[in-house]
Structure 1
C-alpha cells in the first residue's frame, strides 16, 4: 500500500495507491508491491531496501549513507494491544526532499501519528527530517505507555504472588495462583525485552543521525536532543523493570520451592512414622515355629498397640523439635 503526505496552503494532502509522488514530504509504503517500489524508486531517484536487507542484523547494513540520503532500519514492537505482539523491521530513508518509510506491519504509533498529521500538518510535516523526528517522538511516547502498562503488570504480579504465599488456600489453589504469576512474568519479560530492543534501535539511529548533522536541519536539532534524553530515560526504566521482574521471578520460584519442601517434609514424616510399625508387622509376619508371642491370647492387640505407639513416637518427637 502506497500513501503520500504533503502540505499545501496549510492543509494536508494525503493520497493513496496511484497518488502523485511529486511534492510529497512523506511516502509511506506498507507491504509494497514490486510495482509500487519501482514507482517510488523512479520518483525519488534511489533504490529502497528490500525485505531481506531490512532483516540484516549488522549495524553497517542497517544504518548507512549514500550521497545525501540516509538509510535507517531498526526493529519496532507492534501488536501489543492483542496477544500476538512481535517485532518487525522498519526502514526510514531520509532524503533532502522526502522521507520514505518501508514497513510490513503497522505499529500503533504510525496510526496515531497519521491522525495527528491531519490536525496539525504544518507542525509535523514541515520537512522530511521533521517528519522523521516527530514520528520517532510518537514511537517513544507509545513505548513509554507500554512500559507503564508493564509496570502495572509487575506490581499486580507482585501482589498476587505474595498474597498467594500468605493465604490459607489449598495447595492446588496456591499452585494455580503462582502458575498464573509465572505466566504473567513470562509475558512481561518478553514484552520488556522487545521494548528495550526497540529503544536500543532508536538509540543507534539517533546516534547515527547526530553524527550526520547535515541530514537534519538546524531548526530540528533540538528534537534529536530531546529524543535522546527521552530514549535514555526509557532504557533505564526498562532495565529497572527487568531487574524487578527478575527479583519477583526468583521470589516466586522460592515460594514454590518452599511449598514443595513442605510437601516433601510431610511425606518424609509419614515415611519415618510408618517405619517402626512396619518393622513390628514384619517381625510377627515371619513363619518361625518357636515364637512365644504367637500363643499369647492378647498378642494381637498388643502388637497393634505397639505399632500405634511406635508411629506416634516419631511424630511427637518432630513436633517437639518444631519440624512440624
Structure 2
C-alpha cells in the first residue's frame, strides 16, 4: 500500500477558506502549525495515534476512524480524526488526502451557494455520506479482483491454468498469497464500516437539528448494508482459500500415490536382482540355454502383476 502525502489544501485554498468560515476546519498531519494551534485553542488531542476510542473532550466529540480507500487504482490505508463541536467541525487526515472529502466539500459549497444553512452536524453528515460512498467503491473494486481470483482458483482446482499447463504448488501458493492480501483489505473495510457506524451514532446523539434525522437514518442503514456486503466478500475469500487448500491436499496425495505405485511396481524386480546379485557356488539355471531369458521374463512378470492389480483397484485414477 502506498501513501500520498498530498496536502489537501494545496489546490483548494479558497474552498477551504469558505468552508472554514462556515465551520469546517480541514487539516492534515503535515500542517503541523495549524494543527497544533487548533489543539491548543480547544484543548484537544487530534493526533492520529491517539487510539481508536471515541471520547468527549470539553465541547467536542473526538472520533478516530481508520479507512481503506481505492484511489487511482490503488488501495490505501488512511486515518481520519473528526472533532464535532457545537459550532465547529474539525477533521484531521493522515496519509493520502481523501478524495471523498473533496467531493463533500464541493457538495457543501453548492449548498452554501443555494442559500442553505450549514452547521457542524450537517457538514459531518455530508462527510460520512461521502466516506460511505468511497467505501462502497473500494469494496466494489475488491469484489472485481476477487472475481479474477475465483477464475485462478478454478483453474488451479481443475489442474490446469490458462496457459494449459498443469497448475503446481507454486501457482496455488501465489493465488493463496493474493487471497490473503484481499482478506486483509476486506477485514479492514469491515472495520472501517464499524467506525463509520459509530460516528453516525455519535452524530445522531449530538445533532440538535431534527432535519438530520431521516437522512441520518438512511445513512446508517446504508452503512450496515455495506458492512454485510463486506462480510459476504470475506466469506467468499474464506471459501476460495478452503478450495485452494483442498486442491493442494489432493495434489500432495497424488504425488504420494505416484511414489507408492512406483515402489510397488519395482519392489519385486529389485528383490530378484538382489537375489541374483549374491555369490552362490552353484546356480542350476545358469546351465540352461534359456535361463537368462527366463529370469528376465519372470522379472517383467513380477513388475506387471502389482501394476495390473493397482490398475484394477482404480488406485491410478
TM-score range, shorter chain: 0.7 to 0.9
Q: What are the Cα deviations for residues 189-246 of structure 1, in whole angstroms up to 9, with x where unaligned?
A: 1110010010111122222333x33x44222222321221011111111112211211
Give me the whole-angstrom Cα distance separating, in 2, the residues matched to 1:298 and 1:22.
Answer: 106
Match of 2:44 in 1: 48
Match of 1:135 in 2: 127
Given that 1:276 and 1:310 are in contact with CA atoms closer than 8 Å, whether structure 2 keeps it comes out as yes
Q: Alpha-carbon deviation of 1:40?
A: 3.0
Say whether 1:148 aligns with 2:140. Answer: yes
Give me the whole-angstrom Cα distance separating, in 2, the residues matched to 1:80 and 1:108.
Answer: 8
Q: What are the Cα deviations for residues 86-135 of structure 1, in whole angstroms up to 9, with x where unaligned?
A: 3x332111122221111212233223333444555457982221111111
Change (3 A) 1:14 1:321: same
Aligned match of 1:26 in 18, 24, 27?
24
Given that 2:80 and 2:93 are in contact with CA atoms closer than 8 Å, whether structure 1 keeps it comes out as yes
Give me the whole-angstrom Cα distance separating, in 1, the residues matched to 2:32 and 2:222.
Answer: 37
Match of 1:200 in 2: 194
Equivalenced residue count is 304
Change (3 A) 1:94 1:292: same
More displaced, 119-128 or 313-322? 119-128
Q: Alpha-carbon deviation of 1:136?
A: 0.7
Say whether 1:97 aligns with 2:87. Answer: yes
Change (3 A) 1:40 1:122: farther
Aligned match of 1:273 in 250, 261, 265?
265
Q: Alpha-carbon deviation of 1:2?
A: 7.8
Aligned match of 2:104 in 113, 125, 129?
113
More displaced, 117-126 or 143-152? 117-126
Say whether 1:296 aligns with 2:296. Answer: no
SS at match of 2:188: helix
Match of 1:230 in 2: 222
Change (3 A) 1:2 1:293: closer
Aligned match of 2:303 in 291, 308, 311?
311
CA-based RMSD of the aligned residues comes to 3.0
Match of 2:76 in 1: 85
Given that 2:70 and 2:138 are in contact with CA atoms closer than 8 Å, whether structure 1 keeps it comes out as no
